[in-house]
Amino acid sequence: MKILKISTLLLFMAACNTPRAVYDYDQTVQFDQYNSYSIYSDLQTGLNQLDQGRLLNALNSKMQEKGFSRSETAGLQVNVYTQEYERDNRSRVGLGLGGGGGNVGVGVSGGIPIGKMDTYMELTFDFVDKEKDALVWQAVVESSFDANADPEKRQKAFDKIVEKALEGYPPEK
Q: Going along the chain, which residue ranges are E strands?
A: 20-25, 36-39, 69-70, 76-87, 92-101, 104-113, 118-129, 134-144
Cα separation, 81 vs 129, in Å, equals 17
pLDDT per residue as tens digits for the range 70-123: 998 998 999 999 998 776 666 666 667 777 777 777 777 776 666 666 788 999
Q: Which CATH number fits domain 20-87+118-173: 3.40.50.2300, 3.40.50.720, 2.40.33.10, 3.30.160.670?
A: 3.30.160.670
Q: What is the pLDDT of residue 116?
A: 65
**Do the beta carbons of residue 116 and residue 18 sit within 8 Å?**
no
Strands 76-87 and 36-39: parallel
168 compared with 8, residue with greater pLDDT: 168
**Do the beta carbons of residue 82 and residue 54 sit within 8 Å?**
no
